Amino acid sequence: MRFQVLTIFPDLLDSPLQEGIIRRARQAGKIDVAVTNIRDFAVDKHAMTDDRPFGGGEGMVMKPEPLAAAIRHARQVDGHVVLLSPQGRRYSQAVAQELAQRKSLILVCGRYEGVDERIRQNYIDEEISIGDYILTGGELGAMVIIDSVTRLLPGVLGCADSVEHDTFSRGGLKYPQYTRPADFEGHLVPEVLLSGDHEKIARWRFVAGVRMTLDKRPDLLGKMSFSKKELQLLEKEGMYPGAAAKEKN
């Protein structure tokens, strides 16, 4: 998969792209990441990429000429153009899975008060927001997309089952995790996890994940679905997801 990031601060992406799973995915040829400096497409000798808004007001607006030229350059390799924007659709695991089906993404990082509206209307395929808060630019949002999409690609993670059992993979939170030592300052790992009984462990993890969702993110319950057997198990544990939970066919 190919990612192209258009930004006026390309150095912001250097370190994240050189670490961990992203680095290994690049080295293995699972992904290709190209970072393009929008300033390289500026039309004046000062390489200006922003100007004052028509009609007055605070801040600066990213100019259309450099952005349009940078996007046209990126589109020489076909790609889905995404503008990181607070008015875009909310990013989620489902959106990450959707984007992971594409072969190429062009991620446009806005700055200042935003981009010229003519760019938004004529050069952008969709806008995405990673949350209801304001950042100084779209670079961190672009990195969030690269990271979350990359780990969904076949062969990227060392354990393929990790994706299937991740938090949000079935709508709710993941079960609690434990590792050695079994006794840490008098706090013990649940005995079932030491039993070696994989069926019991699977049941415990399922119930623990639903309980954590109910306790910490009950708003997610409506996104979860359960089989009749799972609903019976939850009722046996004294947990009643209620009408918000959907039953699997």
Active site members:
86, 113, 151, 166
What is the spatial distance between Cα 9 and Cα 7, in angstroms, rounded to a whole number? 5
Angle (CA) 207 213 218, round 5°: 135
What is the spatial distance between Cα 83 and Cα 130, in angstroms, rounded to a whole number? 11
CA 45 to chain centre: 37
- Report helix, strand and coil shares of the chain as percent, to nearest 5: 40, 20, 40
Number of residues in the chain:
249
Nearest to 1 by CA among 155, 124, 108, 110: 155
Question: Sign (positive/negative) of CA torsion 227, 230, 236, 241?
Answer: negative
